[in-house]
Amino acid sequence: MNTKEILIEHIDPAEAFGVHNQHLKTFQSHFPNLKIVARGNQLILSGEPIDMELFEDKFEQFTEHIHRNGGINTTQIEAILTGSYVIDAPTALKGKSNGVNGDVLVYGNHGKVIKAKTPNQLKMVNLMNSNDILFAIGPAGTGKTYTAVALAVRALKNKEIKRIILARPAVEAGENLGFLPGDLKEKIDPYLRPLYDALDDMIPADKLKTYIETRVIEIAPMAFMRGRTLDNAYVILDEAQNATDLQIKMFLTRMGPNAKFIITGDLTQIDLPRRTQSGLIKAVKILEGIKGIDFAYLTFEDVVRHKLVKNIIRAYDESSNNE
């Protein structure tokens, strides 16, 4: 008798097997000649090769549906097993506009459509299709970080990469981590909160917790990147205007052969000590024109927060120009 192991990746095994292994029992009823044993995040199949091949095909459709929709029900499982399954957006999303060019980046929690909402956000998406490093520069509220995280989550769900790494300069506005209470995680989490917020919109809480615990998703200060090679990963450096020249260079040179990097920043909100130049400013100057690296510039017209934010940014820009 032949045996085969199937590794369950990027979804919670408990979600795949169902309550009291109900999903697994449904599969077993459709494959009576296979012995199916669940062990941790693995399925062990015993039987004829043709049955195992068919099972693997159906199980891949099953896990892909969970990836795309955040869950699955009995009717959908039966449709997959009987061959009547049609890949589609969640029912609640049908008929809705899917963004500037009709493309959904990812379906978030509760069927939320996550897409490029402005022309420059769409430019970020398109530039990442043809480049491995992208600088996304613009004021607060323009969706730089959110769009970057959505691109990374899409790549993870599509199995284009194996992990997501999100980094930020840990110290902002003159504060020192040593003065904050708690252990290292408690000290750095407030600085990384915007990254968690974006992920919370896109990945169910239990799955996100598993991803973080297993380091499929890693969120850390950029200082933790030193000495590493970041490969098979989507890597985002957020708030890059608060990184020095040497830090930006260190970060960019961590790039492995199969990696995508997005660097986001707002050149109007530099919190580095006086007389310390932002590394983002220098990077923009010296890296422009290198094949494989591109730049997306967002403006107050791309603001997707409260409508007053656009007016606030415009007022500060006008004030700076008049000084």
Burial class (CB in 10 A: 0-12, 13-18, 19+), 191: buried
Strand arrangement of the beta sheet that strand 2-7 belongs to: 2-7, 42-47, 35-39
Residue 310, pLDDT > 80, answer no
Is residue 89 scored above 70 in pLDDT?
Answer: no
Condensed to tens digits (0 to 9), the pLDDT of residues 32-51 reads 999 999 888 889 999 998 88
Please give the pLDDT value at position 323. Answer: 60
Coil, helix or strand at residue 36: strand
pLDDT of 137 over the 80 cut: yes
CA gap 303, 56 in Å, rounded: 45
Tell me the two tokens of residue 192: 């990384």
Can you say whether the dihedral through the CA atoms of 24, 29, 34, 35 is positive or negative? positive
What's this model's pTM, rounded to 2 decimal places? 0.65
Q: Is there a contact between 114 and 198 (Cβ–Cβ < 8 Å)?
A: no
Classified as helix, coil or strand, 222 is helix
Query: Tens digits of per-residue pLDDT, 178-205?
Result: 555 555 556 666 667 778 888 998 888 8
Q: Which among 142, 115, 309 has a CA at the least distance from the CA of 238?
A: 142
**CA-based radius of gyration for the chain:** 22
The DSSP bridge partners found for residue 235 are 165, 261
**The pair of three-digit structure tokens given for residue 260, joined into one six-digit string:** 């995508």
CATH number for domain 104-322, candidates 3.60.110.10, 3.40.50.300, 3.90.740.10, 3.40.50.1100: 3.40.50.300
Which single residue is written with the structure tokens 């915007």? 194
**Residue 280 CA neighbour count, 13 Å, CB half:** 26
Q: Which CATH superfamily is domain 2-82 in?
A: K Homology domain, type 1 (3.30.1370.10)
- Percent of the chain, pLDDT > 90? 36
For CATH 3.30.1370.10, list the domain ranges present in the chain: 2-82
Q: Of 120, 69, 74, which Cα lies nearest the Cα of 93?
A: 69
Give the pLDDT confidence of 245-298 residue by residue, as tens digits: 999 999 999 999 999 999 999 998 888 888 888 999 999 999 999 999 999 999
Distance CA 102, CA 34 (A): 42
Contact 72, 62 (CB under 8 A): yes
Locate CATH 3.40.50.300 in the chain: 104-322
Length of the chain: 323
